[in-house]
Structure 1
Amino acid sequence: MKRIIINADDFGYSRSVNFGIIDAHVEGVLTSTTLMTNMPGAEHAYQLAKAHPDLGVGVHLTLTCGKPLLDSHHTLVDAEGQFKKLYHYKQLFHVDQEELYNEWKTQIEAFFNAGLQPTHLDSHHHVNNLEPVLPVFKRLAKEYGLPVRHNFPNPKDDGLVSTDYFEYNPEILIAQPETIIAQYQAYQTIEVMCHPAYLDKSVMTGSSYATPRLEELDMLMHPNTKEKLQHSENFELITYRDL
């Protein structure tokens, strides 16, 4: 049996994203999500998380979207005090690791201060696996004793809890059961990343990944997907709490 975590990134981005994630959970196969504690929809996401305790909710550590929670940075932000965009990290860049540690620790503490216990850690745009960033990510995961997304080499070798495999492409969920089983023949636990959402102006103008979110939402709630994943002895849908 394949044990699958279906995780939605970007909880807290906006109300429309939040509602899409909750519908994908309540009406579909979504089991897990990660919350951006620095974004405008964070308070709304906290409320929804408390109302849906079966949904696993972790922290989506953010470095490339919105405004940081601390105002003391100089290597993480632009002249307006906003996080630098993802393209900044495509070439040579400098990050003060203590600045990053303090910011990300504050993002995690904001989650706890909302009265919630995170299930795991990952990061927006996968910045955690950048060479200067990964040591900070590992440090915080160990400090808080939290599982992590398996989007960098061998997290278990560092004593971190994770799945056996991480799937970037949610379209695998449309495949026939035999194809899914064959795809993950060597693994027992798999996280499938997705980005379901309804669209609003903030998504359309602020995200490079917009309309595909609707397709993913539809896929996660589709009767065929539900029948295949929820009513089969081949698959067990889990959260990071179950690892």
Structure 2
Amino acid sequence: MGKVIFNSDDFGYSHGVNYGIIDAYQYGILTSTTLMANMPGFEHAVKLKGELPGLGVGVHLNATCGKPLLSNVDTLKTGNNFHPLSFYQQSFIVDNDQLYQEWDAQIQKVYRAGIVPTHLDSHHHTHTFGMNQEVVIALANKYDLPVRCNFEKKSQVRHVDYFEPYFDDVGDFDQNKRQISESIDVYLERLLQQLRDDKTFEVMCHTAYLDQAILKGSSFVYPRINQVEFMIYSSFAQQIKSDCSIELITYKDI
């Protein structure tokens, strides 16, 4: 039997994101999300989580969006905000101690809010870049938490057997922007077969309703709302719910 986590990133980004995640969990196949401790929707997300104890919530470690929680992390910033993603897409240097302290502060803020995290991942996958991997490994060991396994040194932490990075394409109606070359129907049928294997899986997605924060602040917009409906109403979602060879879980179960 396949044990499958459907995880939506960016919980806490904004109210619109939060509500999209909650609906995909309450009415669809979403089981898990990861929380951004430094973003404006954090307190709202914490309140919503308090009403839904079964929703798995990890920490979405952030180094590319908004402002750091700490003031003494100058190597992580451009002006008052985190460096943009482009900073990490080339040769870069940050102080590893500063990154550790900032990410640790984000994790601790989640704990202080009354949420015991299920796992760690990162916004824009920055935990996978260079020496950032060593930082996330150290934090995973400190808190005894699994980590999303899309990085070279995953053998040093607990993780699922397989991570599926391309599920976002189900919400993108523009063929030219998709990461997969095959049709969506072929991709979904292949994924469904894969999820029946006797392994643990994480399927990453980005569910949200659109608000000004997303419209003005994100380059990934309209596929998010399409994903909410897909996670709830699609035949794929109904198949996942009814398939006795697939068990929906959270990272707490691995």
Normalised by the shorter chain, which TM-score bucket?
over 0.9
What is the identity, as a one-letter code, of the residue corresponding to 2:117? P
- 1:127-206 to structure 2, matched below 5 A, reads 127-153=126-152, 155=154, 157-158=155-156, 160-170=157-167, 175=185, 179-183=190-194, 188-206=199-217
State the Cα deviation string for residues 182-238 of structure 1 (Å, max 9, x = none): 445776111000000000111011001011101111110115233211111121111
Aligned equivalents of 2:105, 2:190: Cα separation in 1: 42
**Match for residue 102 of structure 1?**
101
Contact 2:30 2:231 in 1 (8 A): yes
Name the CA shift for 1:73/1:154 in 2 (closer, same or farther; >3 Å). Answer: closer
Contact 2:12 2:45 in 1 (8 A): yes
Calculate the aligned-residue CA RMSD, in Å. Answer: 1.8
What is the identity, as a one-letter code, of the residue corresponding to 1:77? K
Question: How many residues are aligned here?
Answer: 240
**Match for residue 208 of structure 1?**
219
Name the CA shift for 1:68/1:201 in 2 (closer, same or farther; >3 Å). Answer: same
Aligned equivalents of 1:145, 1:59: Cα separation in 2: 13
What is the identity, as a one-letter code, of the residue corresponding to 2:130? E
Q: TM-score, normalised by structure 2?
A: 0.89
Aligned equivalents of 1:21, 1:59: Cα separation in 2: 15
State the Cα deviation string for residues 102-160 of structure 1 (Å, max 9, x = none): 000000000011011000000000000101211001000000000111111352x31x2
- 5+ residue gaps in structure 1? none
User: Residue 241 in 1 paired to residue 231 in 2?
Assistant: no
Aligned equivalents of 1:142, 1:16: Cα separation in 2: 33
2:229 aligns with one of 211, 218, 221: 218
Name the CA shift for 1:199/1:172 in 2 (closer, same or farther; >3 Å). Answer: closer
Contact 2:2 2:197 in 1 (8 A): no
1:227 aligns with one of 234, 238, 249: 238
- 5+ residue gaps in structure 2? 171-183
Contact 2:7 2:32 in 1 (8 A): yes
Aligned equivalents of 2:42, 2:25: Cα separation in 1: 18
State the Cα deviation string for residues 14-63 of structure 1 (Å, max 9, x = none): 00000000000001000000000000000000111111111000000000
Q: TM-score, normalised by structure 1?
A: 0.93
Q: Alignment identity in percent?
A: 46
